[in-house]
Amino acid sequence: MARWRTSPRWLLRLQQLVWCLIYGGLLSLVLGLATERIAPGQGQPWMLCGGLAAALGVLLIFVRSALQPHQDD
């Protein structure tokens, strides 16, 4: 797999975004499931958005694995 070089600061921001998407997505998914039990049909948008956010976070983990910080000489 090709390795791309980018700034360490950008990599840190990407890692923060990854974990926010994963944890936020899973929280939304669980809230959607709980809402769906009480009010059928109302929790589906929460579950959809939460699932997509978590999936995007997992996808960005693979993107992050292809990136390397550039070395300033």
Q: Where are the alpha helices (DSSP H) in 1-73?
A: 8-38, 44-65
Give me the residue spans of the domains in the chain.
4-68
- What pTM, to 2 d.p., does this model score? 0.83
Burial of 24 (C-beta count, 10 Å sphere; 0-12/13-18/19+): middle
Closest residue by Cα to residue 58 from 15, 26, 18, 3: 18
**What's the pLDDT band for 2 if we cut at 50, 70, 90?**
low
pLDDT surpasses 90 at 48: yes
Angle (nearest 5°) at CA 48 between 62 and 56: 10
